[in-house]
Structure 1
């Protein structure tokens, strides 16, 4: 149905351990060990400028090409195309799908799934030549917003299928692989899954035990092992599976490297356990998957042998923005329910919405939803406009959305009071469903380290570039003077980062707060590099403060950019957006100041040591350590 409508519309731990952890998160680092010469060349490559705002934030530079003006990734035809889908998708969730029934039965009934296939919902980004709707990332995200307002469990069924399940085929598949598999997963009622996690390989993907051995004739691999917590694992007939393989490098040495495979259940030897019993997203099938002597043709390798890390991380990176879109819809639902209750409920002779405490809750929920939406559409827009430098921004979007949605739902329940705690209100289901979003597709804890350490590495390569410049100043005066000018202005308060020229004039005070935050941030990065060097990977207390500051700065920038666009276009909501942007920038810049002060504070650094000791005592005891106050 959606396919037809769309076509009509269109025609109308240790240091080494930490390094390994980051290697698993960054596709760029998932490469064979390099010689010293190759390492130097890699360093020079990393010192080169890229277009990522967050990368350059760590250097104290405003790379505004991807943030100002706010990216508009849809032309009129594309806007009309996605608009044609909104009513039928909304109608499906209001008239066909029963989210509470899905949750209580811990499965989606066949009639509902059949309706989804008829809508074309399982092939949203598949090219039309293979039977899909061919939505770009911005259009796909708009559909995600609708899903997020209604049923996150069903959203996982849909998302696990296409955002990660067969995404590898879209990104890396050969012409033959796409012709064979994409029609099946878009119109052929064949479900897909992404099989990476193992009992010993969660965030540490390098510890994968699943192994594929090439046959003597070189025509196929034999796969053995198991995967856990696989979304759609019990219903998928096509899986993207990651396994260790023996690879011969350019020096003739044999090493184990992870390779990505397209595995069909029909190959034989693929089985699964019963559906897991979960806290939330109960209707999505989550199961262990077992592989016993599974014979995989060599032509089913994705990308190249040994490039599984790159495949896995780029699949996850390319899909994280969708979480921001989807959870933006969830936040909107929470705001709707909370505001409706606040305007109807009377306590102590006054409506709830007249009380300052309730007003503050609603305002913060609205600001978070606005900023989250601004970030998510910023990332999607840049992806659609051809950017390849969005990985840190996508990670930030995932962290911000999953934590913001939890906050909004929790506050909505608080505003509704006892009514919010009741099942029939619907919020308790959303709260349970939301909890997993801070865990899967990269835990927020790991993604914070990813943002901080990747950014620091980029800043560090710049410092090395400066060191080389000073070794031969006569031929590098431009680099040296440019850096000296930037630092002088920043440190004495006469210059530094000035963002006022990038925003609509009435937002200049908010832009000044953002610019000051960038100045403070870059100085903090440099001081940490000077103090700790490579040992910074062990300082997770400090890295988390740094990551939170980067998140706040990027969030301010996205809001400023979007609001500037709205004010210049004189949109009906522009004044309201300005209120939210100004409010956000005041509070976010204050959080940046506090977090960066903690990085430099001797008291807080000492406190981090105390926390480390407290944790050690608890872990040794496997319990609290203190005795009961009354001694029994």
Structure 2
């Protein structure tokens, strides 16, 4: 075991953080992979191209991040022949371009998802694109949306997730649309946060379809946002469902799985909530900076030593 300052590296907090986040991300990667594989096994004819693309993007980027952390912990040995990390890192870079570049897969995930959402929201979008003929409908929908979001912000109500009510099952039971009702009670607060992000994503999709219904596929800033949200939400769903099952049936290491799930979910939800809150500001900044770079045909910034006197 490597030592520094006369102590094993495992005793340092930064190293422990690397190990914990690596384990949490690996747990998420396993959960997503087994979930999609299980769905394909149970329903071979089911169209899971979007989910498979999400797994590929998450897997390649997570693998690269994990291997980079491993190389950091290994120090100089990470780039010698004594350890295989150098070869693993090289191969992980190749995986990002194999079976489709990740950026193209992101566009596919977002465009395909919006096309499905557009079919369900077509009546709503059509009425909002003709506001003078549907004033009362728009006022009612706007009021309901504001009330729903205000209640979510004040934690008065946990939003239901689902475009339409669930049908009654063969046993005469209607399944709940609340995520928390399908999770172990230790994970229910995270389920509530997940539900809120899902509802915000739904509202953003509505806005995108209203503003750019005819050429939504051309707005790649929004497409990247939706793809990152979709991948993150899918990963959280897979992690929470796996950890909830492990705890409920008493699988070995179930308490550790709960902590892995909580760490990954909190970290991912923080990122997704930041995306939702700041996407307009970042997108506008990126557009303006890119236009200056293209206009100047390069990096447009004066030297820090430039003087005007």
Q: Distance in 2 between matches of 1:628 and 1:469?
A: 53
Q: Distance in 2 between matches of 1:434 and 1:392?
A: 22
Q: Distance in 1 between matches of 2:126 and 2:228?
A: 32
- Tell me which of 53, 57, 66 is aligned to 1:395: 53
Q: Distance in 2 between matches of 1:495 and 1:579?
A: 23
Equivalent position of 1:565 in the other structure? 245
1:539 aligns with 2:202: no
Q: Which has the larger radius of gyration?
A: 1
Alignment RMSD, CA only? 2.6
- 1:341-360 equivalent positions in 2, closer than 5 A: 344-360=1-17
Structure 2 residues not aligned, in runs of 5+:
129-140, 152-156, 161-177
Equivalent position of 1:496 in the other structure? 159
Q: CA deviation at 1:532?
A: 2.2
Q: TM-score of the superposition, structure 2-length normalised?
A: 0.80
- Tell me which of 74, 79, 97 is aligned to 1:421: 79
Check conservation: 1:423, 1:429, Cα contact below 8 A: no
- Tell me which of 255, 260, 267 is aligned to 1:580: 260
Q: Distance in 2 between matches of 1:617 and 1:365?
A: 41
Equivalent position of 1:462 in the other structure? 120
Stretches of 4+ aligned residues off by more than 6 angstroms? 467-470, 483-486, 627-631
Q: Distance in 1 between matches of 2:91 and 2:191?
A: 36
Q: Distance in 2 between matches of 1:563 and 1:612?
A: 43
Equivalent position of 1:609 in the other structure? 287
Check conservation: 1:486, 1:496, Cα contact below 8 A: no
Structure 1 residues not aligned, in runs of 5+:
1-343, 471-482
Check conservation: 1:503, 1:511, Cα contact below 8 A: yes
Equivalent position of 2:27 in the other structure? 370
Q: CA deviation at 1:423?
A: 2.1
Q: Distance in 2 between matches of 1:486 and 1:556?
A: 28
Q: Distance in 2 between matches of 1:533 and 1:467?
A: 8
Q: CA deviation at 1:608?
A: 2.2
Change (3 A) 1:407 1:605: closer
Check conservation: 2:193, 2:269, Cα contact below 8 A: yes
Check conservation: 1:367, 1:581, Cα contact below 8 A: yes
Q: CA deviation at 1:561?
A: 0.6
Check conservation: 1:549, 1:591, Cα contact below 8 A: no
Q: CA deviation at 1:611?
A: 3.2
Q: CA deviation at 1:550?
A: 1.1
Equivalent position of 2:205 in the other structure? 525
Check conservation: 1:489, 1:496, Cα contact below 8 A: no
Change (3 A) 1:374 1:464: same
Q: Deviations over 1:164-205 (max 9, x none)?
A: xxxxxxxxxxxxxxxxxxxxxxxxxxxxxxxxxxxxxxxxxx
Change (3 A) 1:430 1:605: closer
Q: Distance in 1 between matches of 2:105 and 2:15?
A: 32
Q: TM-score of the superposition, structure 1-length normalised?
A: 0.40
- Tell me which of 581, 592, 596 is aligned to 2:272: 592
Q: Distance in 2 between matches of 1:627 and 1:585?
A: 42
Q: Distance in 2 between matches of 1:609 and 1:454?
A: 24
Helix, strand or coil at the partner of 2:252: coil
Equivalent position of 1:446 in the other structure? 104
Check conservation: 1:490, 1:519, Cα contact below 8 A: no
- 1:510-521 equivalent positions in 2, closer than 5 A: 510-521=190-201
Q: Deviations over 1:513-532 (max 9, x none)?
A: 21111111111111122222
Change (3 A) 1:358 1:503: same
Helix, strand or coil at the partner of 2:193: helix
Q: Deviations over 1:442-485 (max 9, x none)?
A: 11101111111111111111121456899xxxxxxxxxxxx999
Q: CA deviation at 1:349?
A: 2.4
Change (3 A) 1:629 1:467: closer
